[in-house]
């Protein structure tokens, strides 16, 4: 039985838990578009893989907690909390993605999150570490 679009997207997200960015990128179509909404969109699977490897290099561990996943035709919308360690500092950040899937491959991924939320945690914990309270 073929996998549902939701199952494909959740499996793709599980690749981040293993820090397996090649697996994640392979889930995208050759000409897919990845758009972190506050950045310029990234076009093409090879560019997407390069972005993951560059952007997530400081991340040691990741655990993606799925809050809601809803599917409507080609569209899968997921609300999640990303827990990760950024240079050893634990961060939890609410994130949402709207993902289009065609013929078993991701063709578009739009990611929404509050970067400030993650940055505040990194700054607060770095400060606490520097002051010796953690």
- Could you tell me the smallest distance in angstroms from the CB atom of residue 82 to other proteins? 12
Residue among 6 and 26 whose Cβ is closer to other proteins: 6
Whole-number Å distance between alpha carbons of 60 and 120: 19
- Could you tell me the smallest distance in angstroms from the CB atom of residue 59 to other proteins? 11
Residue among 54 and 133 whose Cβ is closer to other proteins: 54
Task: Give the pair of three-digit tokens for residue 118.
Answer: 């993650």
What 3-state DSSP class applies to 26?
A: helix
What 3-state DSSP class applies to 7?
A: helix
Q: Contact positions toward other proteins, by CB under 8 A?
A: 37-40, 54-55, 67-72, 75-77, 79, 94-96, 98, 110, 112-117
Whole-number Å distance between alpha carbons of 27 and 46: 12
Residue among 23 and 112 whose Cβ is closer to other proteins: 112
């Amino acid at each position: 039985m073929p996998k549902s679009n939701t199952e494909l997207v959740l499996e793709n997200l599980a690749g981040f838990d293993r820090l397996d960015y090649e697996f994640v990128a392979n889930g995208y179509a050759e000409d897919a578009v990845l758009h972190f909404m506050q950045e310029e969109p990234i076009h093409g699977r090879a560019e997407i893989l390069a972005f993951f490897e560059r952007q997530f290099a400081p991340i040691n561990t990741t655990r993606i907690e799925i809050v809601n996943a809803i599917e409507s035709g080609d569209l899968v919308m997921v609300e999640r909390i990303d827990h990760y360690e950024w240079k050893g500092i634990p961060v939890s950040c609410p994130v949402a993605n709207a993902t289009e899937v065609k013929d078993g491959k991701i063709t578009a991924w739009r990611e929404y999150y509050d970067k400030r939320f993650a940055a505040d945690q990194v700054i607060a914990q770095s400060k606490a570490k520097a002051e010796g309270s953690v």
